Structure formats: structure tokens, C-alpha cells
């Protein structure tokens, strides 16, 4: 096991099993806790449904994180909650207290979806028909097949890199807001915090040599 290669650009640290797979998730040197562990999955469905999968929120508010006792190994938030506010007025709430999945709330009820399962409230909502002028999402039932098809056709896959990036960005923004303990304004076009040098410095981190980016 090449531990130095495993650490990569992260700070040099004494070997400990907890720094490696799968527990690296709970150390801020390598990950962002449960928030970033699942932040690349469900938020993309939320943004897909809102039509914001290629952009992002304009503000992060009411961030709350509960952290374990100070430790070199365990330092990510065990409990988390924050609001992503979008320019169209929609608010996306990301919280460990929510059921694993995505709930869309509207004027006629709500729809909950998670990895092939769904339910509606009221139950009759599922029988409603989508109008010709309403938004229709394409079927996404086989990412592996879709990737191969995209390689052969040179067409964009269902979930391209940009959409994945925009999805995990929500988790990173939430982590930064929780660590700073305050609301943040975000420019999704520039992908920078608005007039906030302290927060912008947290968008990257020093690289341990000889590692570098670009």
C-alpha cells in the first residue's frame, strides 16, 4: 500500500487505518463527511427537477453543523442542515434529518423520489397527467449503457461532468457555510462568493508537494 500516493496533495500525516478507505470520509483533509459522501447523488436530482443543473444557488442560509469532539481523525459534521436559495425564489433544504432522497413540494402536494422508489402526497397525485406545455424529464435508467452509447455517438451523456460538478458544489458550499457559521452569497456564474474573501479562500487549499493542479 503506497500511503504517500494515497495522501496525494493532502497534508503529510502519520498512517492510521482511519485515514484510509472507507473512513477517510470523516476527515476534512480528504472529504466533507456524510454531506459530500451523498452530496453527489441526490442534489443532482433536485437541481434536475428545478432546471438548475447547470447553474446553482445565489445564497446559502441558516447553515448548522454539529461536530464531534476535536480530533485529528474525526472532524466532519455529524449533523448538518442548510438552505440553498435560488434566483427564482425556490429554496432547497439539505439536512441529515431529511429522508434519504428528494422531496418536491408544490401547490398540489409533494413527490418523494429515491433510487427507483417514489411516493406522492396525496397518493392520487401520481395519477395526474403531465400537460403538453409542462416540463418533462427524460428517462435515466442505465448510466452504464448511456456512457457507452455516448462514447460511440459522441453525444453528451445523461449526467455529464458539469452537472456532477454543480451537484457536489452544493455540499461544498454548505460545508463552508457551516464552518464559517454565517450566511453566504454565491455567484453561480463566476463560481465565487460575493465580496467575501474569507469564504473564497476556502474554495481551494494548499497542495503538498510535489502535487500541483494545472
Measured between alpha carbons, how far is residue 132 from residues 21, 136, 149, 182 in Å?
48, 9, 28, 43
What H or E segment, with its residue span, contains residue 8?
none
14-126+139-201 has CATH 3.40.1190.20 classification = no
To 10 degrees, the CA torsion angle through 99, 191, 85, 38? 0
* pLDDT computed for residue 124 by the predictor: 94
> CA-CA distance, 70 to 138, in Å (whole number)?
46
Radius of gyration of the chain (CA): 19
- pLDDT band at 145, cuts 50/70/90? very high
pLDDT (tens digit, 9 = 90+) per residue, 53-79?
A: 999 999 999 999 999 998 889 999 999
> CA-CA distance, 67 to 32, in Å (whole number)?
12
* pLDDT computed for residue 212 by the predictor: 92
In degrees and rounded to multiples of 5, residue 197 shows phi and psi of: -65, -40
Residue spans per domain, the chain? 14-126+139-201
CB neighbourhood size of 77 (10 A): 23
pLDDT (tens digit, 9 = 90+) per residue, 146-187?
A: 999 999 999 999 889 999 999 999 999 999 999 999 999 999
* pLDDT computed for residue 155 by the predictor: 95
Q: Is the pLDDT of residue 214 over 80?
A: no
Q: Which residues pair with 93 in a beta bridge?
A: 83
pLDDT (tens digit, 9 = 90+) per residue, 74-123?
A: 999 999 999 999 999 999 999 999 999 999 999 999 999 998 899 999 99
- Percent of the chain whose predicted confidence (pLDDT) is above 70: 100
Model confidence, pTM: 0.93
Amino acid at each position: 500500500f503506497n500511503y504517500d500516493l494515497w495522501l496525494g496533495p493532502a497534508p503529510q500525516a502519520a498512517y492510521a487505518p482511519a485515514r484510509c478507505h472507507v473512513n477517510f470520509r470523516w476527515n476534512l483533509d480528504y472529504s466533507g463527511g456524510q454531506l459530500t459522501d451523498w452530496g453527489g447523488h441526490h442534489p443532482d436530482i433536485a437541481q434536475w427537477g428545478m432546471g438548475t443543473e447547470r447553474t446553482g444557488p445565489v445564497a446559502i442560509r441558516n447553515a448548522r453543523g454539529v461536530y464531534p469532539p476535536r480530533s485529528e481523525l474525526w472532524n466532519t459534521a455529524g449533523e448538518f442542515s442548510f438552505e440553498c436559495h435560488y434566483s427564482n425564489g425556490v429554496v432547497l433544504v439539505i439536512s441529515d434529518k431529511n429522508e434519504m432522497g428528494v422531496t418536491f413540494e408544490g401547490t398540489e402536494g409533494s413527490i418523494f423520489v429515491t433510487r427507483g422508489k417514489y411516493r406522492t402526497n396525496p397518493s392520487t397525485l401520481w395519477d395526474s397527467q403531465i400537460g403538453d406545455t409542462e416540463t418533462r424529464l427524460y428517462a435515466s435508467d442505465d448510466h452504464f449503457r448511456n456512457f457507452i452509447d455516448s462514447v460511440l455517438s459522441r453525444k453528451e451523456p445523461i449526467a455529464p461532468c458539469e452537472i456532477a460538478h454543480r451537484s457536489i458544489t452544493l455540499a461544498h458550499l454548505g460545508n463552508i457555510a457551516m464552518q464559517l457559521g454565517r450566511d453566504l452569497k454565491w455567484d453561480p456564474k463566476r463560481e465565487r462568493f460575493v465580496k467575501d474573501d474569507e469564504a473564497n479562500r476556502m474554495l481551494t487549499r494548499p497542495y503538498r508537494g510535489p502535487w500541483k493542479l494545472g
